[in-house]
Structure 1
């Protein structure tokens, strides 16, 4: 899933913050984990790419607390909200691309 387009370096410009600032977790019940295939824990996946997905839910609690303690971003949204945000982000990028290439390509 997508957050808004990233512009500029994060406050601390460190690796951990970059991972938490650029990703978004999907909030869902544990019984939905199989359907998402581990993709609902994007923050944890970016921080620990080799961690088996069966452990992401447990690690997410620690990562959330750590982010809160240090004032780092930790974004999570429902499946619906995340899809709407992704659609809006893609639409904004498409409109910017259309504006940048106006006259260069035929409009559909």
Structure 2
């Protein structure tokens, strides 16, 4: 079994560890063990312009917590699983509830 060390002993920093953390290239042991590589950039990379990205529409979602009767929760679970298996929309509990709630609010004049 491995010998247990105290937290202080485990965190003791040797000069090699400090050089690694600081990315000190002057440390002789670090530069001796690691070959130096040079990255060559092509003219293509230097002149390439960033591609514009299409703006994405992301509606703001607000968390709402509610409790449902057991039968309603089971029916919702069955509905979303069946929708998901058949690859039909809406296929998540959130989407099903959103659609049903929007319909109810619209029918009663709370949503236009």
TM over 0.5: no
**Greater helix content:** 1
Q: Report the TM range for the smaller structure's normalisation.
A: under 0.3
Could you say which structure has the higher strand fraction? 1
Q: Which of the two has higher C-alpha Rg?
A: 2
Give the TM-score, by structure 1 length.
0.23
